[in-house]
């Protein structure tokens, strides 16, 4: 049956008595069958109606990875309201000003988990029987609005239609081979597109869903892995840094003389990896650690995605290091694969002409799963959207170079900040590296591994040898000195301002 809206698609899975939605992975976890969860969604909608929310109203919401947070989101969509998902924090911005700006931009009158600002503060109140059926809607109508993370400035609104989100969910299902009986584990923030679309994908496809708070997952990842052990097949998403983190925790479990369970990760069918550059070292470290526990390397799916495309734009299922990575000079790029169904991708030069194979240019997208422009009125099914990323196609497969704004120019030579970071991270003792513009050159900020000290001169020498340009300075800072967006990415614009003011670190 074809559905027009997300709320209709989710309600259409309410008959699955054998499927469950679980919040948390500890002994205190909450588990609901799909029918019971569907009743609570409808009851949450009834509670919001009682508090004055009407179809079409825009509601500012901070979505948490709890039953209450997910129910609030789904309850609002069930009654036909428009959730406006905001980040819990914005680098360098006063939160009150941020929320005030969103309120003005979106004409918001209600808010959930956001106090003040003259808004009607909603509570999650379950009112069974008040709104049993999902509100009807137009497939091209607005499903929700998600704000960007603000890594390069004030966050911008991304309005997404039901068509765009449902189309991307269908494409994800095809890539993953997802079907009822499978399970999805979501341990990423739900204010981030990977977490949010991950939850919606599981519910629309009618598979078991496990939602864990990201902080709890990072503290006790093995508990989540064990909980998924007996699933038929598991689908999840882990950015590059989480591959490294999980590898360390798995190694710790083995070092503690915990018996290696070769079946623990054998049910993992898909691990989408995106949201940040994918490093060969991260992948190698993860596969070495997870292999003895049954993880199949082909479960890794490299992705290029962005919130403006609902989530995934391209995908590539891992083959081996030689096939799935390409080395050019001192840097290595991951193969991000071909476009998802319903999308077109092209690479163009500065004059707008198409680039030849392997020629770097601007990455542009159009298609049914694109957003409606930051103004909410641009039809990117026909109008190309410039992503701000630079990359190339090699035999039809995408390889990214970096963000256009992340290019460093020294004496007429251009190099990407992410390339420098990749090389600097190979110096012994470096856990993380962030490259920032500084005057006519650039600065390198490095975070040491635990109990390590970094030879900053060695970092500068390595960069100069590989790129023919030396950084203005190399600074060692603590992990907490790296300002981050709510999605966990380094906030380059904010950090560059701190560097200029002399307050960084």
Q: Are residues 53 and 173 in the same domain?
A: yes
* CA-based R_g, the chain, Å: 23
User: What span, in angstroms and rounded, lies between the C-alpha atoms of 249 and 122?
Assistant: 39
pLDDT band of residue 336 (cuts 50, 70, 90) is very high
Structure tokens at 365: 């997208």
Q: Are residues 30 and 122 in the same domain?
A: yes
User: What span, in angstroms and rounded, lies between the C-alpha atoms of 500 and 2?
Assistant: 55
Q: Are residues 135 and 160 in the same domain?
A: yes
Among residues 199, 218, 237, which one ends one of the domains? 237
Is 268 among the domain residues? Answer: no
DSSP state of 423: H
The CATH number linked to 373 is: 2.30.38.10
- Give the percent of the chain with pLDDT over 90: 62
Q: Are residues 335 and 221 in the same domain?
A: no
Is 322 among the domain residues? Answer: no
Query: Residue 429, class by beta-carbon neighbours within 10 Å (0-12 exposed, 13-18 middle, 19+ buried)?
Result: middle
Q: What pLDDT shows up at residue 367?
A: 96
Is 303 among the domain residues? Answer: no
Among residues 237, 254, 279, which one ends one of the domains? 237
Residue 153: pLDDT over 80: no
Among residues 176, 206, 237, which one ends one of the domains? 237
Task: Reduce the DSSP state of residue 478 to 3 states and report it.
Answer: coil
Is 109 among the domain residues? Answer: yes
182-213 pLDDT, tens digit each: 999 999 999 889 999 999 999 999 999 999 99
User: What span, in angstroms and rounded, lies between the C-alpha atoms of 143 and 310?
Assistant: 11
Among residues 377, 378, 380, 376, the alpha carbon closest in space to that of 368 is found at: 380
Among residues 344, 276, 274, the alpha carbon closest in space to that of 312 is found at: 274
Domain ranges, residue 147 = 6-237
Find residue 195's DSSP bridge partners.
none
Q: Are 484 and 91 in contact (CB under 8 A)?
A: yes
The CATH number linked to 125 is: 3.40.50.12780
Q: What is the pTM of this model?
A: 0.87
Count the domains in the chain: 3
115-133 pLDDT, tens digit each: 877 899 999 999 998 888 9
Cβ-proximal residues to 329 (8 Å cutoff; 6+ apart), any chain: 466
DSSP state of 293: G
> What does the angle CA 178 – CA 183 – CA 188 come to, to the nearest 5 degrees?
100
Q: Are residues 348 and 225 in the same domain?
A: no
């Amino acid at each position: 049956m074809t559905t027009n809206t997300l709320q209709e698609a989710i309600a259409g899975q309410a008959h699955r008595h054998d499927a469950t939605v679980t919040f948390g992975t500890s002994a205190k976890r909450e588990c609901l069958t799909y029918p019971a969860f569907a009743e609570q969604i409808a009851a949450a909608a009834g509670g919001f109606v009682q508090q004055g929310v009407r179809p079409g109203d825009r509601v500012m919401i901070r979505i948490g990875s709890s039953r209450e947070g997910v129910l609030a989101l789904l309850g609002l969509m069930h009654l036909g309201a428009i959730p406006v998902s905001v980040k819990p924090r914005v680098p360098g911005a006063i939160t009150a000003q941020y929320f005030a700006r969103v309120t003005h931009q979106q004409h918001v009158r209600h808010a959930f988990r956001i106090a003040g600002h003259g808004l009607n503060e909603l509570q999650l109140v379950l009112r069974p029987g008040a709104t049993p059926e999902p509100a009807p809607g137009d497939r091209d109508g607005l499903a929700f609005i998600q704000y960007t993370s603000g890594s390069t400035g004030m966050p911008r609104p991304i309005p997404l239609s039901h068509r765009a989100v449902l189309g991307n969910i269908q494409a994800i299902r095809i890539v993953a081979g997802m079907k009822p009986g499978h399970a999805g584990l979501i341990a990423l923030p739900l204010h981030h597109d990977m977490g949010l679309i991950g939850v919606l994908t599981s519910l629309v496809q009618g598979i078991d869903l496990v939602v864990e708070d990201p902080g709890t997952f990072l503290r006790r990842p093995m508990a989540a892995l064990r909980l998924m052990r007996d699933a038929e097949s598991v689908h999840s998403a882990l950015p590059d840094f989480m591959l490294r983190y999980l590898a360390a925790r798995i190694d710790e479990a083995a070092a503690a003389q915990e018996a290696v369970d070769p079946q623990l990760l054998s049910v993992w069918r898909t691990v989408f990896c995106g949201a940040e550059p994918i490093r060969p070292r991260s992948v190698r470290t993860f596969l070495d650690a997870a292999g003895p526990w049954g993880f199949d390397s082909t479960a890794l799916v490299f992705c290029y995605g962005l919130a403006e495309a609902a989530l995934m734009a391209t995908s590539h299922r891992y083959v081996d290091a030689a096939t799935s990575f390409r080395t050019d000079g001192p840097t290595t790029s991951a193969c991000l694969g071909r476009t998802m169904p319903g999308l077109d991708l092209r690479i163009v030069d500065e004059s707008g002409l198409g680039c030849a194979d392997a020629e770097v240019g601007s990455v542009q997208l159009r298609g049914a799963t694109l957003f409606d422009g930051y103004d909410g009125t641009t039809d990117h099914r026909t109008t190309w959207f410039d992503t701000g990323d630079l990359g190339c196609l090699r035999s039809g497969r995408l390889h990214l170079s970096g963000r256009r704004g992340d290019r460093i120019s020294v004496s007429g030579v251009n190099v990407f900040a992410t390339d420098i970071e990749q090389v600097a991270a190979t110096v012994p003792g470096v856990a993380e590296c962030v490259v920032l513009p500084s005057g006519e050159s650039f600065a390198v900020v490095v975070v040491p591994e635990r109990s390590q000290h970094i030879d900053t001169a060695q970092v500068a020498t390595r960069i100069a040898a590989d790129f023919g340009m030396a950084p203005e300075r190399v600074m060692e800072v603590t992990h907490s000195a790296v300002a981050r967006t709510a999605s966990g990415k380094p906030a380059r614009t904010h950090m560059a301002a701190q560097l200029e003011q002399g307050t960084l670190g």
